[in-house]
Copies of this chain bind each other. A is one copy, B any other.
Amino acid sequence: MANFKGHALPGSFFLIFGLWWSVKYPLKYFHQKGLKKNRLSQQQQRIEIIEGAVKTVFAIIGILAEQFVPDGPHLHLYHENQWTKLMNWQHSTMYLFFGISGIIDMLTYLYSNIVPLGLDRLILAMAVFSEGFLFYFHVHNRPPLDQHIHSLLLFGLFGGSISISLEVIFRDNIVLELFRTSVLILQGTWFWQIGFVLFPPFGTPEWDQQDMDNIMFITMCFCWHYLVALCIMGINYSLVYCFLTRVKRHAGGEVIGIQKLTSDHTYQSALLSGSDEE
């Protein structure tokens, strides 16, 4: 992972999921407001299962990339009296946790009468926590800027982990879901930022990793990324609302939140077009 691509890959994964969530949760919110019920429709269930599957696939891609890049460990853990490429193994472990979270997501919605609701959130919280946990112990002995830029991520990770844990108890709280989404987008864009700062891809000059000013700028930059994440969410939120209102009008319905949506089909098509828009 110690190169630009190694940061761009997880960054993209997180970004894709973050963008998807910034469309999905507003959709779900307006849909539930319209229908005045809390039960998951069959359609929603199917989408959740697909989401879990995509998460698992992303995790597997990540693990394979970490293990089988030319200078990767190729599944060797201990070789000639020393550990082989522990960095790659740590990254694989991180992906593995997200993979398991994906599997549990699928199980929760496939066998919702067997697997208790909330377990999916707990495992996701643990996956995010483990990522933070491994990052925390893995930035020692590096130049100050490298250490700082990675440790900023911890704020997002531990904050996200706490918020997701809360969802075990306060499930389907739209504000917690939007917070989770914003933290995820932040994580995605920040991985790209790390890649650009530590491994400038287009021949741009290297950053001075000892300079205090660079560290100060990066701290502030982290806040800006969060603001960008908020903006993206705000835009997607409004787009979803406009889209649903227009769908409504075409279907001869009324303003959302006042009367129930005419059919599940509307929601389904909304979700599908919503995901096409990305």
Q: Rank and list the top 3 A-B pairs by shortest CB-CB distance, nearest first.
A: A118-B175, A116-B174, A137-B219
> How distant is A269 from chain B, measured CB to nearest CB, in Å?
21
Q: Is A241 an interface residue (CB 8 A)?
A: yes
Q: Is A216 an interface residue (CB 8 A)?
A: yes
Q: Complex: how many Å from CA A89 to CA B126? A: 34
Question: Which residues of the partner chain B approach A214 to less than 8 Å between Cβ atoms?
Answer: 83
- Interface CB pairs A-B, < 8 A, 21: A29-B116, A82-B213, A90-B220, A93-B220, A93-B224, A97-B223, A100-B227, A113-B258, A114-B241, A116-B175, A116-B178, A122-B175, A122-B179, A126-B226, A134-B219, A134-B220, A137-B215, A137-B216, A137-B219, A141-B212, A168-B173
Assuming A116-B175, A134-B219, A137-B219, is B230 touching A86 (CB within 8 A)? no
- Which A residues have a C-beta under 8 Å from some C-beta of B? 29, 82-83, 86, 89-90, 93, 96-97, 100, 113-114, 116, 118-119, 121-123, 126, 130, 133-134, 137-138, 140-141, 155, 166, 168-170, 173-176, 178-179, 212-217, 219-220, 223-224, 226-227, 230, 241, 257-258
> How distant is A107 from chain B, measured CB to nearest CB, in Å?
9
Question: Which residues of the partner chain B approach A114 to less than 8 Å between Cβ atoms?
Answer: 241, 257
Q: Complex: how many Å from CA A170 to CA B97? A: 27
Question: Known contacts A83-B217, A134-B223, A169-B170; can you find 6 more A-B pairs with CB under 8 A?
Answer: A29-B116, A116-B175, A121-B175, A134-B219, A137-B215, A137-B219
Minimum CB distance partner of A221 in chain B? B93
Check B133 against A155 for contact (C-beta < 8 Å).
Answer: yes
Question: Which residues of the partner chain B approach A86 to less than 8 Å between Cβ atoms?
Answer: 213, 216-217, 220
> How distant is A137 from chain B, measured CB to nearest CB, in Å?
5
Check B168 against A176 for contact (C-beta < 8 Å).
Answer: yes
> How distant is A180 from chain B, measured CB to nearest CB, in Å?
11
Question: Which residues of the partner chain B approach A230 to less than 8 Å between Cβ atoms?
Answer: 100, 123
> How distant is A158 from chain B, measured CB to nearest CB, in Å?
12
> How distant is A195 from chain B, measured CB to nearest CB, in Å?
20
Check B216 against A90 for contact (C-beta < 8 Å).
Answer: yes
Q: Complex: how many Å from CA A175 to CA B125? A: 12
Question: Which residues of the partner chain B approach A113 to less than 8 Å between Cβ atoms?
Answer: 257-258
Question: Which residues of the partner chain B approach A166 to less than 8 Å between Cβ atoms?
Answer: 169
Q: Complex: how many Å from CA A250 to CA B20? A: 47
Q: Complex: how many Å from CA A114 to CA B217? A: 36
Q: Complex: how many Å from CA A178 to CA B120? A: 12
Q: Complex: how many Å from CA A202 to CA B130? A: 32
Check A178 against B138 for contact (C-beta < 8 Å).
Answer: no
Question: Which residues of the partner chain B approach A134 to less than 8 Å between Cβ atoms?
Answer: 219-220, 223
